[in-house]
Amino acid sequence: MAKVKYVKATAVLPETLIIEIQKYVQGETIYIPKPKEAHQKWGSCSGGRKSIDDRNAAIREAFRNGEPIQQLADTYYLSTETVKKIVYSK
């Protein structure tokens, strides 16, 4: 998990903006999110999303080739319900 980076407001914000923010909150830590267009989907940096997509594709292929759901669940350490969601989706 990424470490939270704290930045002192006086180091990055103009004094007039700090005064305006202080009308709403004083002495508290606030989170300012990135703009929506800068947001990255889960796993896009680490490769986790691609890894899961590849695993799910392999599960679908094995199911099409006749592998039983219970066997797929055992092989991939998933519940049978999770395997069903994977093979019956899309």
Domain layout of the chain by residue ranges: 9-88
Average pLDDT per consecutive 10 residues, the chain (90 residues; last block may be shorter): 81 95 93 83 85 97 98 98 94
Q: What is the pLDDT of residue 2?
A: 64
pLDDT reported for residue 4: 76
Q: What is the pTM of this model?
A: 0.58
Determine the Cα–Cα distance for residues 28 and 30; give it in Å rounded to an integer.
6
Buried b (16+ CB within 10 A) or exposed e, 19-36: eeeeeeeeeeeeeeeeee
pLDDT of residue 78: 98
Q: Residue 42: what pLDDT? A: 81
